[in-house]
Amino acid sequence: MPKKHRLAPSILAGNHADLDSALNYAESAGASWVHIDIMDGHFVPNITFGPQTVEDLRPRSKLHFDTHLMLANPHDYVEAFAQAGSDLISIHVEPDYPIAETLQHIRNLGCQCGLVVNPPTELEVMLPFLDQIDLALVMTVNPGFGGQSFMTDQLLKVQRLAEERASQGLNYLIEVDGGVGPENFDSCRNAGADILVAGTSFYRAKNPAALISSVEGGVTTLP
């Protein structure tokens, strides 16, 4: 079981004209992970980055690349994102594709694999795959755009995932993404989340290093 919480800055909230600086900003603040949202304009109503972006950023950073595929057909792209330099690739439960085979394919490509559930989706859809994943990601907003309000009711899914992890003796990490900031850090951690993705709250923070310390050090009152 992980003993340390982590904050993963989401470069979706960084300057898209200067992603290199967005990465450096996160790394200099003390981050060890960075969250990279990949959107196709079909599964979600927005378009962001492709494999070439990840490949171009990879030699510029030692951060753990947490790549989140919000794609209608993720199984067609996992190889490209693995070869581009992703460390962890997460895929959604909602599209119609072979989930178990895709998770195994990600592992075979040398990456960790994660599975993601959107707010309207029942957690039961994810449960059969828990023993096949390294990370379970609970979306706490409807995906597509940054800056949305945190959906507190989704923490019930986090709690259930923590319970299942303990009862089954599994070791996957639990991640939350969407509207995450200092006002809900404690709620996320207390529910069982290990990785907190922060986009807007991180890149607009007056003291991003203190924000990271408040998560990874367990103190949520910022100076």
- pLDDT at 2 (0 to 100): 43
Global confidence as pTM: 0.93
Confidence of residue 148 (pLDDT cuts 50, 70, 90): confident
Comparing CA positions, the residue from 159, 97, 84 lying closest to residue 129 is 97
pLDDT tens digit sequence for 59-86: 999 999 999 999 999 999 999 999 999 9
- What is the dotted CATH code of the domain comprising 6-216? 3.20.20.70
Comparing CA positions, the residue from 24, 105, 17, 89 lying closest to residue 53 is 17
Q: Exposed e or buried b for every residue in 116-125, given b needs 16+ CB within 10 A? A: bbbeeeebee
Catalytic residue (one of 37, 66, 134, 194): 37
Q: Is 177 a catalytic residue?
A: yes
User: CB–CB of 158/188 below 8 Å?
Assistant: yes
- pLDDT at 222 (0 to 100): 36
CA dist 38 → 31, 68, 73, 132, 207 (Å): 20, 6, 12, 22, 27
Residue 221 has pLDDT above 80, yes or no: no
Q: Is 153 a catalytic residue?
A: no
Confidence of residue 143 (pLDDT cuts 50, 70, 90): confident
Domain boundaries, the chain: 6-216
Catalytic residue (one of 40, 87, 134, 177): 177
Q: Find all residues with CB under 8 Å of 171, minimum gap 6, and list them.
A: 1, 165
pLDDT tens digit sequence for 167-193: 999 999 999 999 999 999 999 999 999
Q: Exposed e or buried b for every residue in 155-167, given b needs 16+ CB within 10 A? A: bebbebbbebbee
